[in-house]
Chain A
């Protein structure tokens, strides 16, 4: 027991160090060449001279373009990692992810609708959250009406809701004017942080961070919820309130990430699996590990996406290219026995 505790601490520490180093490297990479030593120098001396300064432009690139993007990638991955692990825990199913039960496409529809009507802003997140919750509630209601407790029914209901909101997203695309708004909606839906800014960071971080951190702080409860409704009741606990709180917080997190980065699949699905291999199924450990792995994964994907070719490659494509094989390997290695 003592041994695994040490391992766990070590793994978290290691993840933290790798995350820190990758962040530095990521900051120095991009279309504007900035050597690593200049990157470090600028970060240590963020206030610089005027246009005559040798580092005038690199400082602007780094502080106004790359830093907000880095912060959004880290917090987005952090949030998606935590929510993914929480979803798989409370629904007691390793196949469940925010994408599967319709939250992502619901939030995606809401956000797309808001962009269509108002342009990007506060409303994007608000609409995303509203329709994310609506999607999740619909899935839950359908599942409850037909066969409470059946995971299969729950997932199937999710598939139905998912398809419905995908169609609604297509409707928004159809209605968007093809010159200006359609390209931006389509591009945003593919998943991208290319329009990251301090404004977007300022609007989404206050949602993503408190809700994910709160979820982290109640990870003990999630262990209990993962026992299943009947068992929880057997312990003399009413699971409804904590369950509702957990679902609202995850949906808040996901809709905030969707509003800023579009629909980025796979992270919520495979990050918890990778983390489980690292630290085991106990949510006390799984959630912090998922948070760090999620941040690492998102940052890695975003860095690859913006450096591998002159054009930004959408995140949705890269997460699928990386995610699908990883998931297949996990599937084969587990031989159908999912450790939860």
Chain B
């Protein structure tokens, strides 16, 4: 009997180093299969590879993931506003599985930690430092913070520092490609086209004297009196398409919108052209018919002259950072200066989608992009 114990003991003694060795081997493999990146907080975030389940917070991010990854199957969680945009756009047709993405862990601007842990993502992307975020790492959900990027651009006689849809898009493409271990070149090509389009438009507008440039107002939410003030994405779009921002005196920190004092501000600015963001259900007809309670649009120049437009919804909403940025520039430049730009937008959109989104749009889909439906769930 004792002999048996001895053999057992010896066997164990021999096996132990082997066990350790195999353990060491395993951890080495683990090291190979994880990725450490430094995010915009300056935190180094360790992500286990391969990434199969992605949860994301920034509204424009899902379509960027689609472009980088060629699919949206890995996206298991996204903001309800990303999903609602996909429901009424081609993104939902291109990637139907995305319409089932879970939004339950996001309640407006706050994060429900347990819900996020429940859907068990391998990585979580956010463009805001959310409350409870520091708890995520402890819960085994690595979170990558990718902030919005600013740039200084020429505006009027001087310059203006704005939240840049272009730079933000470029940055998010990089983060996404790195985490998904994908080639970013195709999406990055868009950023080059974007810069070329900027130059193309500016070379025409340079010749228009400041006094003759249209006064443009972008309304983010009409009833709530939220406009694209100084430094917002909207300020970028207006500056890059040769307009004067009617709301340039509105200062604030938000990248997309700043609250104006009262409706009297709009009457005071009396803009030549008004753009509605499509982040709300207000339509140009609401302004033309003057049907918004507590607001009087009938005297505003843009309304009297029929120059109120709703911003299109392509692969994503065109107002925030999106991969359709070059199209937005052309569309808006043409609305601002119908005599100077003879873009055939329908064809521009068709070719762009074929080239960069690998998708053949039908005529109806192109019409829908230019005239986005109102969405009940915003």
Contacts and interface: CB of A to CB of B under 8 A. Distances in A.
B261 A311 contact: yes
A194 interface: yes
A325 interface: no
26 contacts: A30-B262, A31-B268, A32-B267, A32-B268, A51-B299, A57-B270, A60-B267, A60-B298, A61-B264, A61-B296, A64-B296, A65-B267, A178-B108, A180-B280, A184-B223, A184-B224, A194-B294, A195-B293, A196-B294, A197-B293, A197-B294, A200-B294, A309-B261, A311-B259, A311-B261, A312-B262
A57 B299 contact: yes
A161 B295 CA distance: 37
A120 interface: yes
B296 to A, nearest CB: 4
Given A31-B268, A33-B268, A61-B296, 17 more contacts: A31-B262, A31-B264, A32-B264, A32-B267, A51-B299, A51-B301, A56-B299, A57-B268, A57-B299, A60-B298, A194-B262, A194-B294, A196-B294, A197-B294, A310-B260, A310-B261, A311-B259
A306 B259 CA distance: 14
Contacts, number: 65
A179 interface: yes
Give the most central of B81, B224, B296: most A CB within 10 Å. B296
A61 B293 contact: no
B109 interface: yes
Contacts of B224: 183-184
Interface in A104-159: 120
Interface residues of A, number: 29
Interface in B249-279: 259-265, 267-268, 270
Nearest to B281: A180
A61 B267 contact: yes
Contacts of A51: 299, 301, 304
Contacts of B280: 180
Give the 8 A-B CB pairs with smallest separation, nearest first. Answer: A178-B108, A195-B294, A31-B264, A64-B296, A310-B261, A32-B264, A197-B294, A60-B299
Contacts of B265: 31-32
A199 interface: yes
B12 interface: no
B170 to A, nearest CB: 28
Nearest to B250: A310
A136 B301 CA distance: 50
Q: Is the interface of B mostly helix, strand, loop or mixed?
A: loop
B267 A120 contact: no
B378 interface: yes
Nearest to A69: B294
Which of B264, B270, B304 gathers most chain A CB within 10 Å? B264
B317 to A, nearest CB: 14
A179 B85 CA distance: 14
A130 to B, nearest CB: 23
Contacts of B293: 120, 195, 197, 199-200
Contacts of B378: 179-180
B206 interface: no
B107 interface: yes
A306 B260 CA distance: 12
Interface string B299-313: 101001000000000
A187 to B, nearest CB: 8
Given A60-B299, A194-B294, A65 B263 contact: yes
B222 to A, nearest CB: 12
Contacts of A310: 260-261
Nearest to A31: B264
Interface string A28-62: 00111100000000000000000100001100110
